[in-house]
Amino acid sequence: MLSITFLPHLKQHVRLARLICCLPFEWGPYTDNLIPLKGKLHRVLVRGQMMLQLVHTICQLIFTAGSTRSTNTKMQTMVFTSIYVTGHFLRWNWQLDTVAMELLNSFINFERKFFHGHHFKKSIMDLLMSLVLPIVIFSCFTIPIFTTCLLLAFPCQPPFIGSMLPSCAEGGDGIQNKWMKLLIAIFEGYMFYQVTVSGAFFITQVMIAGCLSLWNYVNILKQWTQTHSCKKGALLQAYKYFRVLEMLNNNCIRARMFPVGTIGFPAVQFFSGYVCIKFHSTMSIFAVGVFFLLYCDGVILTTATFTTAAHVYINSRELLKRWKSGWGTRRNSELRKTLRAFGPLRVRCGTNFVDNSTPLVIQDMCTRQTVSTLIISKE
């Protein structure tokens, strides 16, 4: 559940984001939940950084598409560009609406009231997320630091801003001024820090946390059904509450976050996997380690997001089947009509929803594209 598995990391993540003003809300120590940013300066900074990041991302895409560099260099460039694009569109919220904040507060308050006194045993997915979340926060620090160090040594490294300068063009002497090198490295490190912190928050604390919480709620109803610890009316009422949370969750993620993740996570996995395999013999061990870390992050985020979303549908469908077959609905027309009105919980991506085959389809597509590109590049 969110209040057990995610809440400690959520507080830490929000405090981290508060330092660089990349989220429109913060943790309220007195209310014990998320609250909107009150300071006008902070709201201006959040909007200003979003606009700066948008311009920076567009420049990267234009430079990469119009560059005369080799295809292999462009593939390395696209690792960082895909992270920038994914992170930017995950956090894009020009109106500074509080939909994500209200969703998380709804889950937290619901668990405090509805599951008060319930002893929750962590599932395998909860235990895995307890291991993954520290790795994600660790990546938020290490990747920007690596980027800063990389640009101090190679300020003309594409797709960063130094590579767009005339001195870094083909035949140029490169950036010789040490203060310019330092300025570029600090700027890019800060921009990457914005991307990783804000993007990782919406991925882990909103998308995955919401889906995994719904999955856990359905499993708890399964336990209560098996042990007969609740009456049928209480179980049906609980499922109605879950339907409300499902609507709130879909309202938050279906239009922007999940479509962006559907494209962005496989893109990061594809480009970083290709670079690791293709250039592992020509890169330093440190560089290979960073690209491999990005590949692992891509695999974990893709698998975790779509697996948890799929199991919301699978487990809720199984629960409804159990109720329909075990509660004698043939003799009770009112109960039969009630269960007929209930549908499985669904995590929606646009107009579609994630079912049990979606995670396999995504991973199969990533693997096939990586292998095909490697074969084509050898010819």
Residue 171 — very low, low, confident or very high, per pLDDT cuts 50/70/90?
low
- Looking at residue 147, its pLDDT comes to 82
Average pLDDT over residues 287-297: 84
Q: Residue 172: what pLDDT?
A: 58
Quote the pLDDT of residue 170. 62
Q: CB-hemisphere CA count at 13 Å for 200?
A: 29
Residue 324: pLDDT band (50, 70, 90) is confident
pLDDT above 70: residue 9:
yes
| Mean per-residue pLDDT of the chain | 85
Q: Which domain holds residue 293?
A: 2-378
% of residues, the chain, pLDDT over 70: 96
Is residue 379 scored above 60 in pLDDT? no
Asked if 213 contacts 89 with a C-beta cutoff of 8 angstroms, the reply is no
pLDDT at site 103: 92
Q: Which long-range contacts (CB under 8 A, 24 or more apart) does 94-97 make?
A: 94/47, 94/50, 96/24, 96/36, 96/37, 96/43, 96/46, 96/47, 97/24
| pLDDT classification of 249: cutoffs 50, 70, 90 | very high
pLDDT mean over 3-25:
85
Given a contact cutoff of 8 angstroms between Cβ atoms, the answer to whether 207 and 258 are in contact is yes
pLDDT tops 70 at residue 17: yes
pLDDT > 90 in the chain, percent: 12
- What confidence tier does 165 reach under pLDDT thresholds 50, 70, 90? confident
Distance CA 12, CA 173 (A): 44
Q: 141-153 in b/e burial notation, b at 16+ Cβ within 10 A?
A: eebbebbbebbee
| Cα 178 from chain centroid (whole Å) | 36
Q: Alpha helix (H) ranges present in the chain?
A: 7-20, 40-66, 71-91, 99-114, 124-153, 178-200, 209-227, 232-253, 257-279, 285-326, 333-341, 358-378
Cα–Cα distance for residue pair 249/99, rounded to 1 Å: 9
- Number of domain units in the chain: 1
Q: Is the pLDDT of residue 326 over 80?
A: no
